[in-house]
Amino acid sequence: MQLILKKKTNEDLMAYGFAENDSTLPKSFVIAVLCMGGKSFTHMRTLLKRYRKVINLFLENSGSEFLDVLFRVWEKSPEKFLMAFSCTLEAGIVNDVEALKWAVEDETRALVTQRAR
């Protein structure tokens, strides 16, 4: 979190070891970015843009995993989830097809289905 608060660049973060094969570092960092970006649309957009390279390391697995993390971070706050979801689509981190597949693949995501009605 301190790295985000100090507005470190992608290159600085890579120097901290994000480029290594430890998949937990990028996931933890993505969770921190999503939590801190909850202040506003502008804040979320800025963080997603600034740390896109680290987010891309996490996305090597799949876009649906990113959406799973996004959902777990904001499942208790539907408004913040939808804000972050919109910013994610807008930034091109996840495409429309991936998002639709993700939304229908698991019935436990009541948040998504409730908002769709």
Predicted TM-score of the model (pTM) = 0.72
CATH topology of domain 2-116: 1.25.40
Helix H, strand E, coil C: the string for 3-61 is HHHCCCCHHHHHHHHHCCCCCHHHHHHHHHHHHHHHHCHHHHHHHHHHCHHHHHHHHCC
Query: Given a cut of 60, is residue 105 above it in pLDDT?
Result: yes
The answer to whether the beta carbons of residues 84 and 70 sit under 8 Å apart is: yes
Q: 43-101, pLDDT tens digit by residue?
A: 899 989 988 887 887 777 677 888 999 999 998 999 999 999 999 999 999 989 988 88
